Amino acid sequence: MLLSPAADAVFVTDSPGARPRVSSLAGCIRLKELGVEPVLQLTRIRSNRIALKSELLGAAAWGIYNLLLLGGDPARLGDHPDALDVYCLDTAGLIALAAGMREGDAGEGSGSTGIPFLIGAAVDHRGGSAELERARSKLVAGADFLVTQPVFDAEPFAEWWEEARVTLRGCPILAGVLVLGSARAARYLSRGLPGVEVPESAVRRLERAPDQALEGAAMAAETALSLRDLPGLAGIHFMKAAPAEGVLAAMRKAGLR
């Protein structure tokens, strides 16, 4: 609740790093009960299309329509490396599944009719032209907006942004900004979470700081300030790797509260 007055919506992760957590749907339901706008994250790697469609129908039953649909982290990276991953759908297929439900597709026995999903997907700004083509395929499948991996250097991101705006034809994009609470957390995320690579310079800056949590908030705010004026950027997605107070401090320092 600390962050809810400062944020437009709150993303609820789905087993990040292939580690069991409270399900995204349960977290979203709780947030909705508290009056917070939730975003359901759903990964295709944990379930087949039957279970995925059931989860989406469950979300709709609770009036949860904001989605971030992802591939997911392989089980070998998490606490249960012997667990079986599921490859029933790829990410574009999961997006198409949700988009079909939005269009009133009653296939596969669901009986769904025109669920107003707002569908998000991920894009890695470090992936070059090939990644932009993958992002285009997600938009063709039915995604409405994109969220980037964490940005640590605004200058190369701005260069990528110029190409992305043209290639992705003005699709709304949220830039990811990771709020770090300590150097230890930064190293842990770089080792254990795919798509997150905290620069060594950032880790050293945290290590030198007398208060690492405050320094992490300041670093995130600096990045957000560098990004917020990019023409056409839809917003900032603050990603939490620090106490909620640190995330709120970053939002305030960036003038985004």
pLDDT confidence of 191, banded at 50, 70, 90? confident
pLDDT at 105 over 70: no
Query: Tell me: the pLDDT tens digits for 215-246?
Result: 999 999 999 999 988 999 999 999 999 888 99
Q: What is the pLDDT of residue 20?
A: 87
Q: What percent of the chain has pLDDT over 70?
A: 95
Cα distances from 12 to residues 22, 31, 150, 184, 256, in angstroms, run: 9, 9, 16, 23, 20
Q: What is the pLDDT of residue 71?
A: 95
Asked whether the CA dihedral 182, 218, 255, 234 is positive or negative, the reply is negative
pLDDT at 65 over 60: yes
Cβ–Cβ < 8 Å for 221, 192? no
pLDDT at 87 over 60: yes
pTM of the full structure:
0.92
Mean pLDDT of 88-96: 97
Mean pLDDT of 14-33: 93
- Name 42's bridge partners: 69
Cα distances from 243 to residues 3, 77, 181, in angstroms, run: 11, 24, 7
